[in-house]
Structure 1
């Protein structure tokens, strides 16, 4: 549940149950989240801002990718935002390049070099170090899910695949296969271990991405995986001699052009709802604008939508009427019958260019913050603040202060 429902479910409803004194079971754990926002604003179904259930299906992006991204962006400790660019970045880097790349490489090597059969494995010290690292991630994964920390659970899954990628990259089985008999035995162990890690990953993924996990199980030619939460340590899930099926990529790249289309499609009606004419308007133009805006207000009120939707439109209508009165007064006094609507100072083209730069830099900062390396994203934050300062100097309108990401504690 969202945080605004916590007082009722934690205090009011349990109080009612206690007062009834009929032996009802009281709540012992509450799993609540902060708010999930949409891009730089809020979701609004009535205004068409944001992407919802049917919309998500219409995008053609697999349901499992949605599940993965929403769990990754889950506002567990503070408010977070849904971002189309962030969704694409996570799909392309974390799913495709990290997890999907490791699994596909391991299975393809097994298919091409060992006739799709898991080879005999002879573990070395380096292999046991890898397994120790994986065991640590498994324990963290189980602890996270028991505490309903879904974001942390995904972090542990990606760490397992990252360890696998690094293991393959450092040992280079494709080179060992061309070497001596001893090298070939070592390559066989590397591929056998990697295929077993792929099976483990399918099991860890299952709560988040069930269709992807089933797909991977089919490629591994197993019905399911297993994980003992009481003794969470990696075991040999695929024995030597087990034959896998045909490997195929688990994920596909989401192109930026597609993301741009989706951002435009689901930006809602906020642009048209604030469509008070800009520039210099004469009395006739203002009368026409008032007529159009008045019809829009009447239609919204007739549809019985919430006040938060139609009130901004009423404000626009009142502003247009005020400007009409000013224009008519100027005509009466023999002045040019026009009035300028409010706008920003400075060159509009320069303002637009700065706004575009700020939007791009903001997306870059969000993606880098998701990766978690402060030494990388902090300089980009400084660049973003510098751009906002320039925009403020150009327009005279203070830029919104960046969110600190920390909630203030009440004394």
Structure 2
């Protein structure tokens, strides 16, 4: 403000449309009539007023006389020293602007504009470079939000805009620039809506939902391929992350299955000891799962003293309870290396489907469980020679005597736990055929020793032993915690640690009243988890936590064929990393293609399309667009807002989001993971639609600020929700979204709640995804052995 005048003119501090129009009137009037006076913005009386955005009306004040005016049109006339009344000002500005703010483009807006004066050319001054009169300024500024930039704007409006006295004053105010919010720091969010911090030692809690989650223990003699990953560890991880996001008390246990024939065979082929082989592949598996962002609470292994202790205890209880028996049977014996051949040391032609590479225990083609003696033209896997038949004595689990209690449990658990359809079918087919005693020992050196005299050269059968691995790995999880605690206190790792940890694992595995067990696996593992393992638990007489929900998958095929490590066909865990495509994209693709009810097929074309058309164009676009807009226009600070400025907010938008959220939760609770992901992406799509239908852009921000404020805050809160619902599937992307929003992880609530409130400031924008060049498809297809399918 110049010191040569006693007049002060204050504009409105508010961000409403009326406030901005009033400031425009004052700015033009001062530029035309009193260029020696600058418009000012009134300073709030207190810092609290500033934070709360308390508005103040316009004001003209003469410091010498104390004269004041607070009505904007009167101030314009005062500055022009022209108080002539004009019929053209007889219309309702507030009604016109209300029509604009509520986006009522028809009835109300038409009615308002129909009452708007249309001045004839004679109203203008004779010379265009002369000063406009007050009526022209008031009318022009009032209708500026309506007509600015429109080619169909009335001639009189366009001509006034060309007037040098008006156009010269517009550059600083023509866009109706709004003052940006002041960054006052991140808002403290209500803890009720956030994900709780995970305990260092996860134990069941009273009055909470306690969920024990396991995935089939991956066998340690090879690198897992995509089908292995999605069929067990990834599926379990998605559900575990969902459960923890919902603030259930959940623990996810897994590890490598290391005993058995396959390990011993592979060790012979590689010229190493079984232990060396297990050490090598345990590390490989852990590295693969770490890259895929699999969030185990503990990833252990079965070759531990704890495994031996617990497995032998279970075996002994079954023996003492009369559920084990000795049988001498004929078994294949290799005279070339003088050894009985365990199931997987034998290969041959399947008697069921004539597959030539069937194993002694199971045919990979038809899925039937086999006896090695049933194979046609059997051969020793080690040296290829034809084995002979010799008698051998083994221990059998009397499943026939456990059939009735097992059947009752299956009927109850499969219904209550809503097992997947294929797991029910497979289990019922076993029971329907009638259960027979099943051998649980093998002629091997590499395995859990059989705790009976005379069985020093035999071990427990890997499929009896492996399921007990879930229990021993849980116990080792607690042992590991106790060891860390002892080291932290400067104590040794001596005696006493085992018993305490044993009590902790029992809280999970001997607590069926308070713990639900969720297990994830491919369909070929089902009978061992629904028949052999629960029958074993029943036979011990202990109060075991048994299976509640079983989620199984069919097979994932690779480009129309099977994954084959030996033939170099298919994508294996380490190959995914080598492509340079982020693990989040791989997780998304596998989850969206999860073979839940039928076999699914990996396709490079589909992989690239899902990244470019779904992740990038849908989710990435929604988050990037609103975050960048909020940073550019609002200084990254959420403004005050009123959702009543959003058309059909409660009955339309919120209702749709809550319906989608309800569908998402229902699918995730039922472990329909693929449908859950589809619904999460639909919520993101609704966010894009929300921005489109409300036309979020510079014009909305400048001309309809109340609506813009409400749209921005609502959209950012929807981004927060989208981050939560995709977090089980793409945790790294959810983390990036939370970083952008400068907010901790949001819990998935039953209804859409705008947790981020005015005053909260967000962080920097980040790109969530990058486009994949379609040319990479043929490169990858060639590299990993797939063949492009041709049209029939």
Please report the TM-score for the alignment, with normalisation by the length of structure 2: 0.33
Provide the residue aligned with 1:246 in structure 2. 764
Between the aligned partners of 1:223 and 1:23, the Cα distance in structure 2 is: 40
Provide the residue aligned with 2:711 in structure 1. 190
SS at match of 2:557: strand
Between the aligned partners of 2:587 and 2:533, the Cα distance in structure 1 is: 31
- The alpha-carbon deviation at position 63 of structure 1 amounts to 0.7
Q: Summarize the Cα distance change of 1:24–1:204 in structure 2 as closer, same or farther, 3 Å threshold.
A: same
Alignment counterpart, residue 217 of structure 1, candidates 706, 714, 738: 738
Alignment counterpart, residue 666 of structure 2, candidates 125, 140, 143: 143
- The alpha-carbon deviation at position 140 of structure 1 amounts to 1.6
Alignment counterpart, residue 700 of structure 2, candidates 177, 192, 215: 177
- The alpha-carbon deviation at position 227 of structure 1 amounts to 2.7
Between the aligned partners of 1:174 and 1:70, the Cα distance in structure 2 is: 36
Render the CA deviation track for 1:212-267: whole Å, top value 9, x for unaligned.
11111111111222333xxx001112111211112122111111112221111001
Between the aligned partners of 1:90 and 1:187, the Cα distance in structure 2 is: 32
Provide the residue aligned with 2:539 in structure 1. 19
- The alpha-carbon deviation at position 85 of structure 1 amounts to 1.0
Between the aligned partners of 1:143 and 1:189, the Cα distance in structure 2 is: 30
- The alpha-carbon deviation at position 81 of structure 1 amounts to 0.8
Render the CA deviation track for 1:164-188: whole Å, top value 9, x for unaligned.
11111111021642663xx221112
Instruction: After TM superposition, list the pairs within 5 Å mapping 1:335-346 onto structure 2.
Output: none
Contact 1:176 1:186 in 2 (8 A): no
Between the aligned partners of 1:245 and 1:103, the Cα distance in structure 2 is: 13
Whether 2:635 is the aligned partner of 1:112: answer no
Alignment counterpart, residue 10 of structure 1, candidates 516, 530, 538: 530
Alignment counterpart, residue 753 of structure 2, candidates 226, 235, 241: 235
Between the aligned partners of 2:680 and 2:771, the Cα distance in structure 1 is: 20
SS at match of 1:29: strand
Between the aligned partners of 2:545 and 2:738, the Cα distance in structure 1 is: 40
Provide the residue aligned with 1:279 in structure 2. none
Provide the residue aligned with 1:400 in structure 2. none
Q: Summarize the Cα distance change of 1:146–1:178 in structure 2 as closer, same or farther, 3 Å threshold.
A: closer
| Higher strand proportion (structure 1 or 2) | 2
- The alpha-carbon deviation at position 72 of structure 1 amounts to 0.6
Between the aligned partners of 1:176 and 1:123, the Cα distance in structure 2 is: 19
Instruction: After TM superposition, list the pairs within 5 Å mapping 1:249-264 onto structure 2.
Output: 249-264=767-782
Between the aligned partners of 2:721 and 2:677, the Cα distance in structure 1 is: 14
Root-mean-square deviation over aligned CA pairs: 1.8
Count of residues paired in the alignment: 269
Q: Summarize the Cα distance change of 1:176–1:15 in structure 2 as closer, same or farther, 3 Å threshold.
A: same
Contact 2:624 2:767 in 1 (8 A): yes
Q: Summarize the Cα distance change of 1:226–1:260 in structure 2 as closer, same or farther, 3 Å threshold.
A: same
* Greater RCO, 1 or 2 (C-alpha within 8 Å, sep 6+): 1
Between the aligned partners of 1:25 and 1:189, the Cα distance in structure 2 is: 50
Contact 1:176 1:184 in 2 (8 A): no
Contact 1:50 1:267 in 2 (8 A): yes
Between the aligned partners of 1:191 and 1:240, the Cα distance in structure 2 is: 11
Between the aligned partners of 1:250 and 1:151, the Cα distance in structure 2 is: 21
Between the aligned partners of 2:540 and 2:759, the Cα distance in structure 1 is: 63
Gaps of 5+ in 2: 1-520
Gaps of 5+ in 1: 272-355, 360-386, 389-411
Provide the residue aligned with 1:392 in structure 2. none
Contact 2:736 2:766 in 1 (8 A): no
Alignment counterpart, residue 553 of structure 2, candidates 22, 33, 36: 33
Q: Which has the larger radius of gyration?
A: 2
Please report the TM-score for the alignment, with normalisation by the length of structure 1: 0.62
Between the aligned partners of 1:42 and 1:83, the Cα distance in structure 2 is: 12
Render the CA deviation track for 1:95-137: whole Å, top value 9, x for unaligned.
1000110111111111111121112221135222211111111
Between the aligned partners of 1:143 and 1:40, the Cα distance in structure 2 is: 33
Provide the residue aligned with 2:725 in structure 1. 204
Alignment counterpart, residue 127 of structure 1, candidates 649, 652, 660: 649
Contact 2:584 2:731 in 1 (8 A): yes
Between the aligned partners of 1:133 and 1:88, the Cα distance in structure 2 is: 30
